[in-house]
Amino acid sequence: MTRFEPLHTLPRARDVDDFTDRCDSPREECGVFGIWAPGEEVARICFFGLFALQHRGQESSGIAVSTGSSLVVKKDMGLVTQVFDEDTIRDLQGISAIGHTRYSTTGSSVLCNAQPLLSTSVVGDIAVAHNGNLVNTTALRMELESEGVVFETTNDSEVIAQLLSRHHEGCIEDTVKAVMERIEGAYSLVVLTPDRLLGVRDPYGIRPLCIGRMDQGHLVLASESCALGPVGAQYLRELEPGEIVSIGMDGMKELQGVPTKRHATCLLEFIYFARPDSLIYSKSLHMVRRRMGQELAREHPCPDAHVVVPIPDTGTPAALGYSEAARIPFGEGVIKSRYIQRTFIQPSQKMRDMGARMKYTPLRETLAGRKVVMVDDTIVRGTTTDKLVKMLFDAGAVEVHVRITAPPVRFPCFYGIDMASQDELVAAKNSVEDIRKMIGATSLGFLSLAGATRAVGLSRDNFCSACFDGKYPIAVPNDVRVTKQMLELVPQNSSAGVNSDELELPLLEPA
């Protein structure tokens, strides 16, 4: 067993709006944005790009701006609108900018872990913003520390920042290539130097990253295409796995940083994470989710039901599809509060115990006396779905048939989703019937993996579906538990990870 000693003491992160975090859906990742637009208000454009990506992370936000000769960074804990105001944006003048909105997957939710991260090389400043998770973080960090590097954060993104600053001697594209050859895992990056903006995607393309063009010819990078329209940019394309896009006064250069391994975009981006108005693989996510609902109706019919009700917002397109395929009326049966999101004012324990009732309100008019099909996106821990089912019964539903548009989540994610450890995953140790009893539903049906990929319209080879089937496209360490706090502990000994291209992780034995 690997033994750990404390690296240093960090203030404990406040559990930001913990009562809304304790849900059955996977927790968010991060959003990145970049803009090259000399003569424009790049920080303002970046702000609105991040605002459109706020769903990907609500713990901290930051923007780095290039003046053409140096970089300036502003970041803090909180939502984009809490971190930036008019005066701050007005002060951030420059020719290009990158931004980040964070949900922590490695490193606690504290200010030192907020991004973009700024580092200094022998030829100038570099800022980087990262969506994803590295799997060889610990080995790289220990190597860098042995060379005298002092780390200021406990996130894996600083490993990338430190490698960039140590390799950079003049050509940023060559620097990024050299770093890509050393890091392993999921990463979509935006990198800023005083004279260039770069977009970078890992050789598996696990996390999304796209590029758009504004009317003036200026270029924009974003985690999702939904961030392009609000800033007046037209979608061009996704970056290819392993690709580097470099933008400067000489225009845009498209380079292959490392060879493409395969296309393995996270399937949960299609099911849950990305906004329904985004495109991935040139597919409308709204239509994909609608087709997932249709597939779900075919796989798990409920012919005697009176109404199909979504758990908003991610369940809505699938519920529409279920309704269409099953020919059962669609109804709005649950109202979600749009304002109970992330807040620094903590609820009391009594309010925490109310859980889902603070976030959702049932509509008795839709539910009372009805047999209800309740459509939601995922069940991860099983800690909220039972409350939602009870809420529908309390509102008068006579039957509640739960339908989930993701397959059972049985394995942890190592690539940028703060999902849960395997012993917290309810489907890892329980059958569908066991879960049905736990949540108190009349019946329970999960969409199959084949049905999910059919709905996208592509073969399973195009996705990372490791959290469903345990087949990891990138080898992960076999002796170190990859957790959010792993860099707040230093391993006394470690060995290399497995070398297989596809690692199959066994289920934990029931306790």
Rounded Cα gap, residues 308 and 297, in angstroms: 11
Q: b or e along 441-451 (b: 16 or more beta carbons within 10 Å of the residue's beta carbon)?
A: bbbbbbbbbeb
Contact, 277 vs 285, CB < 8 A? yes
Rounded Cα gap, residues 14 and 276, in angstroms: 30
Helix (H) or strand (E) holding 357: helix 356-359
Contact, 21 vs 103, CB < 8 A? no
- Centroid of chain to Cα 108: 16
Question: How many Cβ atoms from other residues are within 10 Å of residue 338's Cβ?
Answer: 8
Tokens of 378: 């995922």
Q: Which of 299, 292, 416 is nearest to 310 (CA)?
A: 292
How far, in Å, are 53, 63, 222, 342 from residue 82 at the CA level? Answer: 15, 13, 21, 11
User: What are the beta bridge partners of residue 74?
Assistant: 63
Rounded Cα gap, residues 432 and 436, in angstroms: 6
Q: Is the peptide bond before 116 cis (omega within 30 degrees of 0)?
A: yes
How many CA atoms lie within 13 Å of 229's alpha carbon, on the beta-carbon side?
Answer: 8
Rounded Cα gap, residues 60 and 54, in angstroms: 10
How far, in Å, are 122, 141, 163, 176, 177 from residue 168 at the CA level? Answer: 7, 18, 8, 8, 11
Helix (H) or strand (E) holding 251: strand 251-256
Question: How many Cβ atoms from other residues are within 10 Å of residue 86's Cβ?
Answer: 8
Catalytic residue selected from 30, 226, 464, 467? 30
Rounded Cα gap, residues 318 and 296, in angstroms: 8
30 catalytic? Reply is yes
Rounded Cα gap, residues 55 and 338, in angstroms: 12
Residue with tokens 């990138």: 474
Helix, strand or coil for residue 366? helix
Contact, 269 vs 280, CB < 8 A? yes
How far, in Å, are 171, 252, 319 from residue 258 at the CA level? Answer: 16, 18, 41
Write out the catalytic residue numbers.
Answer: 30
